[in-house]
Chain A
Amino acid sequence: MNEPTPSPAQKPQKISCRGITKSFGAKRVLAGVDLDIAEGESMVVIGGSGTGKSVTIKCILGLLKHDTGSIKVDGVEVSNLGARERERINTKFGMLFQGGALFDSLPVWENVAFGLMHAQKMKRRLAREKAIEKLAMVGLGADVGRLFPAELSGGMQKRVSLARAIATEPEVIFFDEPTTGLDPIMADVINNLIFETTRKLGATTLSITHDMASVRKIADKVAMIHGGKIIWCGSIKEIDRSGNPFVEQFIHGRADGPIQMQVRRL
């Protein structure tokens, strides 16, 4: 199951998941997810609400323990790491949480500078300058840096969270719905930012989004998750002629199709 993909021209796999399963109690959320992300690639995972997109990312990050399956980062199995190795692997990662997850006891700039100060041992002054630079990249001024997360609007929190995720310039960045809750213009700014960080820093990214405009802007490859499995995976160019009825329904946002929402009609 684990042999490398045949094409020799391909870049090495940064992240490679095979058959990840995860259940919460009796509820099976992931039923064998296979996902490969090549180095420097921007992978976008799409799929309905509650299909396990966030859970997949959390398994890769080691925040949730998957039941079976293998997850490799740079070819190294990370499924059963001890706390210290996990910490070391996580220095390669940056994560934008769906709910922001900003530290509400710290001012905004310290949130952004957290990884710089603690994981990279950067001096406070320097880290602060860097943080303000990153805040500027997401369209927030230095004055916002002095506020606390609770004093920000939802969209501003999202942007601070994005700044925190990219502040340490990690090798792999996970974006869990980066543009949800932003106005269309700011959403486009953020999409551009994600696009640029991937291209300029050469970062590998795994993003989750429901927003097709965002998918078209940032994705190299798209994977669709449904019923706990990746049911389609291909490059962004192929998405409009995927020939997959699930993907078709999703990208056109139709209520009728193979995906049935669990709602009762009036």
Chain B
Amino acid sequence: MRLALRLNPLALIGRAFFGILSTIGRLALFMAESVTHCVRPPFFPMLVARQVIEIGYYSLPVVGLTGIFAGMVLALQSYTGFSRFAAESAIPNVVAISMTRELGPVFAGLMVAGRVGAAMAAEIGTMRVTEQIDALRTLSTNPFKYLVVPRLLAGLISLPILVLVADIVGIMGGYLVAVYKLDFNADAYINNTIDFLEPLDVGSGLVKAAVFGLLIALMGCYHGFHSKGGARGVGTATTNAVVSGAILVLIFNYIITEAFFSR
């Protein structure tokens, strides 16, 4: 293609538009195919379990660390702000609600998108370019059932558990800073947290988590599955999986928040 044509802004917009449309189409087909394989035997429960360990268990340290520091900084920041209005007593409440509704799911989602989305895209992408996916098919095993479905289910199962951990650890981080640094009363802090926290706060966070888990796994599998052209293609697939996973987490975070809390 000639350079002038390639840089033509209209052509650029058109190409991006059609690129996005065809990607959405392919994603929808990929998703539909995965879902039909979710409900048709054979099933691979052992593979789901292995992926839950891979996604859930091994992400605990990262998610725990981000959770605790998020909770700590939340307490510290809201103290510096709220003390101006003598509203320090709202801090336990602010920490708990922010953690469970927003920061827990979003931070866990972003960390997992980086850690797990990349690993999935790299693994499946390598299997694609080294013909292992072709080999699966010649051995009469459907790659969707064997590779994609276990990862999607594991994402759906693991992320809510991770987010629950992040919530608890985050609130604990807030507590530690409030009690040991800002001289709050320990009992009052805990009572305040428990009294104000509603099931919907935690519940909406867990719904977000399940959706994020599915999206992250979907991005990892999709980009891995469609990678081509050796090591470089796998590298591109990995980057795309992480970037699109993270962006989708933020977009769907807004959509779900809107669905739950706007009235």
Q: Which residues of A are in contact with B by a Cβ distance under 8 Å?
A: 58, 61-63, 83, 86-88, 90-91, 93-95, 97, 99-105, 114-115, 118-119, 164, 168
CB pairs A–B below 8 angstroms (8 shown)? A58-B134, A61-B137, A63-B138, A90-B138, A95-B135, A97-B131, A102-B135, A105-B123
Pairwise interchain contact A99-B130, C-beta atoms closer than 8 A: yes
Proximity string of chain B (114-149) to chain A, C-beta cutoff 8 Å, 1 when within and 0 when not? 000000000100110011101111111110001000
Hey, which chain A residues are within 8 Å of B141, CB to CB?
Answer: 114, 118-119
In this complex, how many residues of chain B approach chain A with their Cβ under 8 Å: the count is 17
In whole angstroms, what is the CA distance A63 to B140 when docked?
12
Name the prevailing secondary structure of the B interface residues. helix
Pairwise interchain contact B139-A63, C-beta atoms closer than 8 A: no
Question: Which residue of chain A has the shortest Cβ distance to B44 in the bound complex?
Answer: A118
Pairwise interchain contact B135-A101, C-beta atoms closer than 8 A: yes
Q: Which 6 residue pairs of A and B lie closest in terms of their CB atoms, listed nearest first?
A: A101-B131, A101-B135, A119-B140, A95-B138, A115-B139, A63-B134
Hey, which chain B residues are within 8 Å of A168, CB to CB?
Answer: 139
Q: Considering residues B126, B137, B140, B142, which has the most beta carbons from chain A within 10 angstroms of its beta carbon?
A: B140
Name the prevailing secondary structure of the A interface residues. mixed
Pairwise interchain contact B140-A115, C-beta atoms closer than 8 A: yes
Hey, which chain B residues are within 8 Å of A99, CB to CB?
Answer: 130-131
The one of A61, A83, A94, A97 in contact with B142, judged by C-beta atoms closer than 8 angstroms, is A83
The one of A90, A100, A103, A104 in contact with B140, judged by C-beta atoms closer than 8 angstroms, is A90
Pairwise interchain contact A118-B132, C-beta atoms closer than 8 A: no
Pairwise interchain contact B140-A87, C-beta atoms closer than 8 A: yes
| Shortest Cβ gap from B127 to chain A (Å) | 8
Hey, which chain B residues are within 8 Å of A83, CB to CB?
Answer: 142
Pairwise interchain contact A94-B138, C-beta atoms closer than 8 A: yes
Hey, which chain A residues are within 8 Å of B137, CB to CB?
Answer: 61-63, 86-87, 90
Pairwise interchain contact A103-B142, C-beta atoms closer than 8 A: no
Question: Which residue of chain B has the shortest Cβ distance to A95 in the bound complex?
Answer: B138
Pairwise interchain contact B142-A102, C-beta atoms closer than 8 A: no
In whole angstroms, what is the CA distance A63 to B136 when docked?
10
| Shortest Cβ gap from B257 to chain A (Å) | 38
In whole angstroms, what is the CA distance A36 to B141 when docked?
27
The one of B126, B135, B140, B146 in contact with A97, judged by C-beta atoms closer than 8 angstroms, is B135
